Amino acid sequence: MPLTSMTSGMGFEVVPDVYCFSVQIVNIIFVGNPRESNEFILIDAGMPGSEGVILAEAKKRFGENCRPLGIVLTHGHFDHVGALNELLRIWDVPVYAHPLEQPYLTGKSDYPPPNPKADGLVAKMSPLFPRHSIDISSHLRLLNGDGSIPCLPNWRFIHTPGHTPGHVSLFRDSDKVLIAGDAITTVEQESLYDVITQKQEMHGPPAYFTLDWEAAEQSVKKIESLHPEIAITGHGLPMTGNELQSNLRILTDNFVLTEIPENIKQSGDITLF
């Protein structure tokens, strides 16, 4: 049986046009108001083999004839692109990603090996996780440097590297909604118990697959400076309001102490790509 959290298959309407849906251990997001249209934007593409669940949830929320206008990737790790090729066979739509993720989305480069020496049982399991690239060249559209997202005119992307070179988060200034990908998490993703129970607490990116800890720390500071009111993360339950902002401050202040694995700190090299 695949690793699965207690919230898998559950959806949360965070605001009327932003819906967070849990796929095993990762979140995908539908952006679009089903009361106004059957069109939407999909953020990330879940775990391998989850296309049926994603298609069913899209139809449940937006109607039988629903269709995305595009797909936006926060990054290309297996749990964020797992169903992408299968979804593109049904939804022939553009996929937007940062240029620095291009090698991992065009079959040119695999991600570096994980760090199984990070604390936690999930970290110990990480050598078993896929890290190969996929090839969606025919659908891939690269985001440009002005922060705009062609299919999401009221949002902007923020380059939040560290977990991967081209990791992005999405932000809407009008209501300060943040879609953070894995730049921050609201569960201790390295802990098997916490992943299953979805115990909520603020952390940085999943330690076993984070490549550049100096960049990751700067990305957390960048996110904190936005003062988001709502954060939807790639792993964990959404967090809002004062709880979100106070936890972001704590994370920013204590990042080196609490987030960087000991073996990385001892090596003296927190930049791996």
CB of 234 closer than 8 Å to CB of 185? yes
| pLDDT value of residue 265 | 87
* The pair of three-digit structure tokens given for residue 102, joined into one six-digit string: 């291009």
Q: How far is CA 16 from the centre of its chain?
A: 20
Separate counts of helices (H) and strands (E) for the chain: 9, 12
pLDDT in tens, the chain (273 residues): 468 999 999 999 999 999 999 999 999 999 999 999 999 999 999 999 999 999 999 999 999 999 999 999 999 999 999 999 999 999 999 999 999 999 999 999 999 999 999 999 999 999 999 999 999 999 999 999 899 999 999 999 999 999 999 999 999 999 999 999 999 999 999 999 999 999 999 999 999 999 999 999 999 999 999 999 999 999 999 999 999 999 999 999 999 999 999 999 887 665 543
Q: Going by C-beta distance under 8 Å and a sequence separation of 6 or more, which residues neighbour residue 48?
A: 78, 82, 83, 130
* pLDDT at residue 1, rounded to an integer: 41
Determine the pLDDT at residue 3. Answer: 82
CA angle, residues 110, 193, 8, in degrees to nearest 5? 70
**Strand ranges, E, within the chain:** 11-15, 18-23, 26-31, 39-43, 67-72, 95-97, 140-142, 156-159, 168-172, 177-181, 230-233, 239-240
Sign of the alpha-carbon dihedral angle for 51, 57, 61, 63: positive
Confidence at residue 269, expressed as pLDDT on a 0 to 100 scale? 63
In angstroms, the CA 120 to CA 103 distance is: 29
* pTM of the predicted model as reported, rounded to 2 decimal places: 0.95
**Beta-bridge partners for 39:** 67
